[in-house]
Amino acid sequence: MGDRLSRMVGPPKSLFDLHRVEAQVRVSCRSCRASEVWELDALIAEVRKNGGSTDWRAAHHAVKCPQHCPAPRIDLVALPFGKQRARRQAHRHALVNLSLQILREAAHRSSREAVGTLEVRLALHVLRPFVKDQQLLTEFWNAATIEPQHPWTSCHLPYRWIAQRLIDVGAPVEEANRP
State whether residue 23 is helix, strand or coil: coil
d(CA 149, CA 167): 29
pLDDT confidence tier of residue 10, bands split at 50, 70 and 90: low
Strand spans (E) along the chain:
24-29, 35-39, 74-79
The whole-number pLDDT of residue 118 equals 96
Q: What average pLDDT score do residues 2-9 get?
A: 47
Q: What is the pLDDT of residues 86-117, one digit of tens each?
A: 677 778 899 999 999 999 999 999 888 889 99
Q: What is the pLDDT of residues 24-78, one digit of tens each?
A: 889 999 999 989 888 888 899 999 999 999 999 899 999 988 888 888 899 998 8
pLDDT confidence tier of residue 4, bands split at 50, 70 and 90: very low
The whole-number pLDDT of residue 111 equals 84
CA angle in degrees (0–180, nearest 5) for 28-177-68: 20
d(CA 163, CA 160): 5
Q: What is the pLDDT of residues 126-142, one digit of tens each?
A: 999 999 889 999 999 99
